[in-house]
Amino acid sequence: MAEIADTSIPVESEAERRRKEAYFTASQSQLIWARFRGNRSAMIALVALIAMILMGLFAPFLSPYDPTIAGRDRDYENGAPQIPRFWDENGFSLRPFIYGTARTRSIETNFRWVTTIDRADRRYLEFFVEGWEYSLIDLRLDIPGTSYDIHLRALTFDTHLFGVDAGMIHLFGTDASGKDIFGRTLHAIWTSLAVGTIGVLISFVLALVIGGVAGYFGGWLDSVIQMITDAVRTVPVIPLFMAIAAFIPQTWSSEMRFFFISCVLGLIGWPTLARRVRTHLLTERSQEYVLAAQLSGASSSHIIRRHLLPSFTSYIIVDLMISFPYMVRAETALSFIGLGLKDPVNSLGALLQNVSKADVLLNYQWYFIPVIFFIALVLAFVYVGDGLRDAADPYENLKK
Amino acid sequence: MSGKPIIAARDLAVHFPIGGGLFGPKAIVQAVEGVSLDIPKGSFFGLVGESGSGKTTLGRALLKAAPITRGQVMFDDGEVSYDLARISRREIRDYRKRAQLIFQDPYAALSPRMTVRDIIAEPIEVMGITKTREATDRRVREIAAKCRLNLEHLRRFPHAFSGGQRQRISIARALVSSPRFVVADEAVAALDVSIQADVLNLLKELKRDLGLTILFISHDLSVVAHICDRVAVMYLGRLVETAPTRALFARPRHPYTKALLSAIPSLDPDHRSSAQKLEGEIPSPTSPPPGCKFQTRCPHAIDICRREEPRLEHSDAEHDVACHRWQELAKTLSTA
Amino acid sequence: MTLIKVENLTVEFGTDEGRIVAVDDVSFEIEPGKVMGLVGESGSGKSVTAKALMRLNPDNASYGPRSRITLQLDSGSVDVFSLKSTRDMRIVRGGSVSMIFQEPMASFAPAITIGSQMVEQLMLHRDMTRREARELSIEMLGRVGISEAAKRFDQYAFELSGGMRQRAMIAMALSTRPKLLIADEPTTALDVTIQAQVIDLMKDLVAEFGMGIVFITHDLGVIAQTADMVAVMYLGRIVEYGPVREVIRNPAHPYTQGLLRALPDLGDLDARLTPVPGDIPSPLERPAGCVFHTRCPRFMPGRCDAAVPGMTTVKPGHTAACFAVEDALVAA
C-alpha cells in the first residue's frame, strides 16, 4: 500500500504541472473559451442558439411543405397542431401516426368550418420522403429593371426529413390559408437571422471605419466624428421608419423590401457600435506595450495588425453578439407594426403580426408557437453575448 | 567617465497643449523648460523628482517619444551623432535601435496576447535586425538568458509571470536590439521590496556587461543613491541640481534637494530629521510661479527669488545648482 | 486595557480559481494611543486583515470559525463578528472605527461637497445638529492643516490637490472621534515631501486624540517613523511581531531580515542590495508548512515544509514564527 501511495503523489503533481503549463501557455482565445465554458447559462444558450441556426439553415429540408401559398393545405385551414403518437385505444404502433381529418360546415356550426378527427384513419409518419423541390443556395436579386437580375440556384433537392403516407402533417398547425406553421417558423428564423446578419454587418463595417478613424487619429477629426455620431443617435426611430415605409414602392418584391429593411437597420445601428470601437481603440492605443512597439519604430499598420486588432477582436465579437438581438427585435417590431416585411414573407415579425387578431387569441392559439421561438432566439443571443462579455477580458483579474 | 557625453541637451523645452478639442488647446503645460544636461557615456544617471516634475517627459524627449519644442539634444555614441530636435525619419529608425525604454508598470508594458518570445522578438523584427527566424530566436534566447529568464518559459504568455519576472521580460525587450542608451522610467517602483533589489542588481550587471548608459528615472532617492553614479534633481520642469551621487547626498546645495533628502522616512525609529519639512505642494505646470519655481515652498526665498529665475551654475567640480542663495546657505549651514 | 483584540483571524476568498487563504490565523492587539504597523508586500493579507476589523471584505470572503475580534468600548466590549444588521455595524463603520485609504478619492462621493459629507456623517454617528456638525467639521479641517477651511468646506474632493485630499480624508475620519483608526497605505500615493507632512500630522493627532491606529504599509521606513508595534506579514501570516525598535534593529525572522537587507539605506551607499531570493508565490499556491520556506536561506527540509512554526518569544513582547529561531533559543 505504501508503495502505491508513494508513486501516486508524483504522478498527480506531474498532471498538476502539465495543467499549469497549459494555463501558462494558453492564448487569449483559449483563456476566453475556458472562462466561457464555466458559465452554465451561456453554454446552454450557445447550444440552443446553434440548434436554432441549424434549424434555420436546413429549414427547407426540415419542413415537409413549402411555407408559401404553394404548399398550403386546402383541407386543413386554421388547423390545430397534429402530434404524432404511438398508441391509442385502437392499439399500439411502432411507427408514429396521426389521424385523418374531415371538415364539415352546416347551420349548426354557424357556417364555420369544423374539423373532426377520424380516429380510425391512421396516417403513418415516413422519413426522408420526396416532396417539394428546394435549393439550399437560392440567390435571387431583383433590382428594379431586368438587366442585373441574378437568379442563382444550386444544391437543389426534394428530399425532406419527414412526411406522412397520406394527406399532410402539420406539427404546429396551419394558418388561415392552410400554410404549415412549422415550416413557416423555421423559414422565419432564417429570415430574421439573415436580416440581423446583414444589418449587423453593415453597421459593423461603418462602426469599424468611423470609430476606428476617430479612435486612432483622435484630435479634431475625432471631435467632428463624435458630433456626427451624436447627431445620428438623436434621430427618432419610429417616425423615420414610417417615412421609409411610405417611401418603399409597392412594386418592390419582398426580397427587395427585405434587403432594404436590413440596410436601414444597419445604417441607423452603427453609432453605438462606433462609440465602443473608438473607446476600445483609445484605451488600447495608450497602452504601454503599444508605446513600446512605437519606440521600436513600428509602423501604424504593424501596430494596428499586431496589437490593436487582436486586442479588440474579442470585444468586437461580444459587441456583435449583443447587437444581434437588437437587429432581430427591430426587424420584428417593424414587421409587427406593418412597416417591414409583409405576410407572404416568412419572418418572425410577420408571423407575430398574425397573432394580434382577436380571432386568433380565442380560437387558434397555435399561432403563438413562432412567438416562443422568437423569445428563445433573442434570449439565446443575449445569454451568449453576456457570457462572452464576461469571458472577453481574461486578463482583468491578473492585474493587481 | 571622460570623453563626449552620450546625451547632451541644451536649453531643452517640451511644451504640451492640454484640454480643448475643435477650438484649440485650453492651456499649455511647460513639462520641461530650459534643461541643459550632459549624460556621460557609460554612466548610471539618476533623474529624481516628484510627480509633476517633468522627469518622465524629459526621459521621453531624449528618446524622441515626446515632441521637442525648443533646444538641442545631441546623441553621440561614438558611431553616429544625431541632433534629436532636427533628426530625419530615416535617422529616427536607426536611433530606435540605439536608445530604448524600460517601463514602470510590468503589467501594462507587456501585451497579454503575445508569448514572451514574441514580445522580446518584436523590436528586432520590426527593425529588421535579424533576417531569419532562427537568427531572431538565437538573439532572443541570448538576451533572455542575460536577463536571467528561464528559456523554457519563452513559450508562455505574460499572465504566467509575477511582477519581477515581467520586469525582466520588459528589460530583455528593451535590450534585444543592443541599444547604447536606455531610459528606465521608474523601473522598480511597481515592484515589491524583496523583488526590487533583484531587478536593480540585474540592471547594474547589464550596464556593466553590455556597456550601457542608463538614465534611471525615479522618485525614490534611496534607490537612486544606491545604483546611480550621477544624479539630477528636477522640480516643475527645471533642473535644480546635478552632481555625482556622493557629493549630492553628502552636500546637497539646493533647498529642494535638502528637503527631499530629509523627507525620506529613516529606518531608524529614533532618528528624527532635523531639516525643515516643506510646506505646501508642487504648483501646477500650467501656471508656474514667476522667478524661481521653488520660491512658493522655499523657506529661504527672498525678493530676487520671486523675480528672477536662477540659472544652473557650477558650485564644485561637476556639481551644478540653480539657486540664487546657494553660497550664502552653504556658509550658514557649515557654521551652524 | 486593550482597545481591540484580534484572535486567530482567518479569512478565505472563494474565487473561480479556487479557495484563496488571504489571512491565516492572525492574532494581535492594539492599545489606545498606540500605532500598530502592519507591514507586508503584495499578497501578504495586510489590507484584508484591516478590512476584517470593519467587516468590509467583499461577500465572497468567509471568516474562520475560531476568528474573534473584540472591540473594547466605553459601553463594554463588542464582538465584531456577532454584529448582524447594518445598523449595528455602524459601530465599527465610521463610528468607533474609521478608515482612511490610499486613494482619497475613493472615500469622497464625487458629487457631494466635502463639507456636507462630513456633516452628514457627524449627524449620523454623533447626534449633532447641523450647525454643530458644520462648526466641528470646519474646525477639524483647520486642525489637519487645511488653509481656509471654511472655503474648502464647500468644495468638492476633485478640486483639492492630492495632499489636501488626504488631509481632508483624515479630518473626516477623525471628526467622529473614533477609538480606532485604520490607515490603509495612507501615504503610498503621495510624494515624499507630502508624505512627510502627512506622517507628522498623524503623529500629532495620535498624541492629541489618543486613539489607536492600525497603520498598513509596505514601506518599512514609514513604519519605523510612525509605529510603536509592528507585525510583519507574509502570505497571510504574521511572521514577526514586536516593538518597532526591536523588530527593526534585531529582526529575528529570516523574512524580516531579508526585507531589511533588500532595502536601500542612505546611511551606507556602498552596501550591496541583497534581494530575497525567488518570487512571492501566488496565493493560489501557498506553500505548505512555513509559508516562507520556498525563499528562506535557513530552510530545513522535512521540517519547515511539513509543519507551521508557532510564535516563539525572542524577547518579552517580541515574537517570531520560525523553527530556526526556536532552535537557536533552545541552544542558548
Contacts of residue A38 in chain C, CB cutoff 8 Å? 16
> For A23, which residue in chain C has the nearest alpha carbon?
C17
CA nearest neighbour of C37 among C209, C302, C238, C324? C238
Distance CA A103, CA A170 (A): 16
**pLDDT beneath 70: ranges in chain B:** 1-3, 19-25, 272-276, 333-336
B157:A298 CB<8 A: no
* Beta bridge partner(s), residue C48: none
To the nearest whole Å, the CA of C256 is away from the closest chain A CA by 23
For residue B217, what pLDDT is reported? 95
**Residue A311 · residue A395 · CB < 8 Å:** no
Instruction: Identify the pLDDT of residue B20.
Output: 56
Suggest the residue from C17, C103, C192, C222 to mutate for an interface test with chain B (most B CBs closer than 10 A): C192
Chain C residues within an 8 Å CB radius of B261: 266
Cell reading at A384:
451568449
C16 contacts A400? CB cut-off 8 A: no
Crossing angle between the packed helical segments A254-285 and A219-233, to the nearest 10 degrees:
140
- Binding-site residues on chain C for chain A (CB distance < 8 A): 16, 42
Structure ipTM:
0.84
Give B-chain residues touching C219 at CB under 8 angstroms: 265
Please tell me which residue of chain C has the smallest CA distance to A400.
C42
**CA trace torsion C175, C177, C182, C187 (10° rounding):** 40
Q: SS3 sequence, C91-138?
A: HHHHHCEEEECCCHHHHCCCCCCHHHHHHHHHHHHHCCCHHHHHHHHH
Size of the B and C interface in Cβ pairs below 8 Å? 122
Q: Which of B51, B198, B264 sits opposite C275 (nearest CB)?
A: B198
Virtual torsion, Cα C160, C161, C166, C169, nearest 10 deg: 10
CB contact under 8 A, C193 and B196: no
Which cell goes with B109? 508594458
Using CB atoms, pick whichever of C192, C261, C275 lies closest to residue B50: C192
Taking chain C, what is the end-to-end CA distance rounded to the nearest angstrom? 34
**CB–CB of C52/C23 below 8 Å?**
yes
**C285 to chain A: nearest residue by CA?**
A20
**pLDDT tens digits along B222-278:** 899 989 999 999 999 999 999 999 999 888 999 999 988 888 888 888 876 555 677
User: In chain A, where does DSSP find H-type helix?
Assistant: 2-24, 28-37, 40-57, 59-62, 181-217, 219-233, 237-247, 254-285, 288-295, 300-303, 309-336, 348-355, 358-363, 369-392
A30: CB partners within 8 A, 6+ apart: none
pLDDT at res. A6: 38
Q: Residue A38 and residue C42: Cβ atoms within 8 Å?
A: no
Q: Is the Cβ–Cβ distance between C246 and C65 less than 8 Å?
A: no
Residue B19 has a pLDDT of 65
Q: Tell me which residue of C42, C25, C72, C328 sits closest to C212, measured CA to CA.
A: C72
Give the number of A-C residue pairs with CB atoms closer than 8 Å: 3
Q: What is the pLDDT of residue B58?
A: 95
Using an 8 Å CB-CB cutoff, list chain B residues near C280.
162, 192, 194-195
Q: Which of B21, B126, B155 sits opposite A293 (nearest CB)?
A: B126
Name the residue among A24, A289, A295 with its Cβ closest to that of B63: A295
Q: Are B224 and B245 in contact, with CB atoms under 8 Å apart?
A: yes
Q: What is the C-alpha separation between A62 and C24, in angstroms, rounded? A: 61
Instruction: Name which of A271, A390, A273, A377 is nearest A320 in CA terms.
Output: A273
pTM: 0.81
Averaged pLDDT score across all residues of chain C: 87
Angle between the C114-126 and C162-175 helix axes, to the nearest 10 degrees? 20
Secondary structure of residue B30 in the 3-state scheme:
strand
**For every one of its 332 residues, what pLDDT tens digit does chain C have, with 9 covering 90 and above?**
788 999 999 999 887 777 889 999 999 999 988 999 999 988 899 989 988 888 888 888 889 899 999 988 877 888 888 887 777 777 777 778 888 888 777 778 888 888 898 898 888 888 888 888 999 999 888 888 788 888 888 888 888 877 788 888 888 888 888 889 999 988 887 888 888 888 888 888 888 888 899 999 998 989 998 899 999 999 999 999 999 999 999 999 999 999 998 888 777 777 778 888 888 888 878 898 999 999 999 999 989 999 999 999 999 999 999 999 999 888 87
Report which of A275, A300, A272, A302 is spatially closest to residue A199, judged by C-alpha positions. Answer: A272
Contact C154, C113 (CB under 8 A): yes
Phi then psi dihedrals of residue C68, to 5 deg: -140, 135
Residue among B44, B240, B267 with most chain C CBs within 10 A, to mutate: B267
Give me the half-sphere count of Cα atoms (radius 13 Å) on the Cβ side of residue A393.
8
Inter-chain touch A294–B65, beta carbons under 8 Å? yes
Q: Which residue from B22, B93, B109 is facing A289, i.e. has the nearest CB? A: B109
**Number of Cβ within a 10 Å radius of residue A163:** 19
Instruction: Give the pLDDT means over successive 10-residue stretches in chain A (400 positions).
Output: 38 69 78 82 90 86 78 75 78 79 74 74 78 71 61 74 77 78 84 81 84 79 86 80 76 71 78 82 84 87 84 78 78 72 72 74 78 87 84 60
Letter for the amino acid at A390?
D
Is C273 within 8 Å of B281 when comparing Cβ atoms?
A: no
pLDDT at position A133 is 77
Distance CA(B297)–CA(B136), nearest Å, equals 53
Spatial separation of the C-alpha atoms in residues B277 and B260, rounded to whole Å:
9
Give yes or no for C269 touching B (CB within 8 A): yes
C-alpha C55/C-alpha C72 separation (Å) is 16
Nine-digit cell at A258? 427585405
C16 contacts in chain A (CB < 8 Å): 35, 38
Question: Which residue among B200, B219, B265 sits closest to C224, beta carbon to beta carbon?
Answer: B265
Chain B: closest CA distance from residue C127 (Å)? 35
Closest CA to C165 of C187, C184, C182: C187
